[in-house]
Amino acid sequence: MSQGVLPDQFADLEAFVADWSLAEERARNQKRLSSSMEELRTFYDAIFPRMEAILEYLRQFPLDTMPEEVRRLILLTLSLAEIAPAVEFFGQPGVIDGFESTRFVPGHEPRFSSVAGRRKHHGTWQQ
């Protein structure tokens, strides 16, 4: 079992873990909004070419139980999902002339956990 921050074959992305392996949508959105476009593009350019390989690799893991380094990798992909509209559409971190996203309060977010177990009202209702 790998003891690395990320699975060995994705060690090249480890530099992004501290900033982008964030468990909550709010934290990922905040990170997007507090980053420069250069920072967003650097992360996008590093992870996007690896996505096919990452998704292929992740196929072997069940949804809710996985080693910690795999969980960090998944959270990196969710940050890519978060920043994609900024990079591909807006050309700036936030929505242009948009309603403030901090006032737009998310709830009921699926959680990725490296241990079994779930809390009521998080994730899917039914298994």
Partner 1 sequence: MGIQTNGTNGKSWAQTYPELGTGPVPIEPCISPEYHTLERERIFKQVWLNVGRVEEIPKAGDYLVKNIAAGEASVLIVRGQDGTIRAFHNMCSHRGNKVVWDGDGTCRGVFACKFHGWSYNTEGRLIFVPDEDQFFDLDKTAHGLTPVAVDTWEGFIFINLAPQPKETLTEYLGELGEQLRGFPFGRYTTRKTYQTEAKVSWKVAADAFQEGYHVAFIHARSLPSYGPKENPLVHLPWVKLYRNHRRFSVDGNPKPKPTPIQTLVHKLGRSFDTMLSASTDDLPPYLNPGKVPNWSFDINVIFPNFFVDVLDGMYFTYHFWPLAVDRTLWEFRQYFPPATTVEQRFGQEYSKCLFRDALLEDLSTLEETQQALATRAKTHFLLQDNEVCIRHGHKVVEEYVGFYSGGGA
The footprint of partner 1 (CB under 8 A) covers 25, 48, 51-52, 55, 58-59, 61, 63, 66, 74, 77-78, 80-82, 84-85, 88-90, 95-101, 103-110, 120-121, 123-127
Q: Is the CB of 4 or the CB of 90 nearer to partner 1?
A: 90
Task: Closer to partner 1 by CB, 34 or 127: give it.
Answer: 127
**Least distance from partner 1 to the Cβ atom of residue 14, Å:** 19
Q: Which is nearer to partner 1, 1 or 96 (CB)?
A: 96
Q: Which of 116, 48, 104 has its CA nearest to residue 76?
A: 48
CB of 116 to partner 1, least distance (A): 16
Please tell me whether residue 80 adopts helix, strand or coil conformation: helix
| Least distance to partner 1, CB of residue 92, Å | 10
> Phi/psi class of residue 99: alpha, beta or left (left: φ > 0; alpha: ψ in -120 to 50)?
beta
Distance CA 3, CA 70 (A): 11
In the complex with partner 1, the residue whose CB is nearer, 38 or 56, is 56
Q: If we measure between CA atoms, which residue out of 114, 104, 110 comes closest to residue 124?
A: 110
For 97, the 3-state DSSP assignment is coil
In angstroms, the CA 101 to CA 47 distance is: 25
* Least gap, CB of 121 to partner 1 (angstroms): 6
